[in-house]
Chains A and B, each alone.
Chain A
Amino acid sequence: NAGVTQTPKFRILKIGQSMTLQCAQDMNHNYMYWYRQDPGMGLKLIYYSVGAGITDKGEVPNGYNVSRSTTEDFPLRLELAAPSQTSVYFCASSYAAGSSYNSPLHFGNGTRLTVT
């Protein structure tokens, strides 16, 4: 059982380039999340999705786009990369979220992105 798989593990981008961070889960979870972790700054929510075809902005969505065409996949797109997007990106999934019932997040191993 792979859980949450993120690719690539590392990437260096030049300013202005674009790329897609891949995230796939095999647990049939409806809820998926993208976070970025800057040094000493904790995890900031970029985008999230409560099911295929539904996405919503988190705390820091600017400079990113997402899509959710299937339950399994939740790619994160960076357009026109900037040095401020240098960070570690974590994808996570959950069986349930919200206030009625909530289950823990399963995290991928992260993608370390450097923009120079």
Chain B
Amino acid sequence: AQKVTQAQTEISVVEKEDVTLDCVYETRDTTYYLFWYKQPPSGELVFLIRRNSFDEQNEISGRYSWNFQKSTSSFNFTITASQVVDSAVYFCALSGWDDKIIFGKGTRLHILP
């Protein structure tokens, strides 16, 4: 069975600090996709990034970066120079051959001014 673990339930950092959100996944599939979504206080779910299992290159998008390591089954998300607007719940998700998309429990991030 597929599983996504986000061990950090809640994190608080002061604005401008860097913060890393951890995501560990389990799957027996050799081909799969990983995602990160953001849920701001307004409640909607916003797609951030998709990564397929054959592409282990790290990705950077502005202040956001993602580190995918198949050897440790991790897909971690780092926010550099955090801002108050980054305060949200962040979800990691996994999709394999069976078309299901499974989410972790999420990490609630508080950026303190």
Contacts and interface: CB of A to CB of B under 8 A. Distances in A.
Interface of A: 31, 33, 35, 40-45, 48, 50, 56, 58-59, 88, 90, 92, 94, 97-100, 102-107, 109-110
B104 A107 contact: no
Nearest to B43: A110
Given A97-B101, A102-B52, 10 more contacts: A42-B106, A48-B100, A90-B45, A99-B31, A99-B53, A99-B97, A102-B95, A105-B101, A106-B47, A110-B43
Contacts of B29: 99
Contacts of B99: 31, 48, 50, 56, 97-98
Contact of B44 (A58, A59, A109): A109
Interface residues of B, number: 29
B70 to A, nearest CB: 14
B32 interface: yes
Given A50-B99, A98-B97, A42 B104 contact: yes
Contacts of A41: 105
B97 A102 contact: no
Contacts of A99: 29, 31-33, 53, 95-97
A41 B103 CA distance: 10
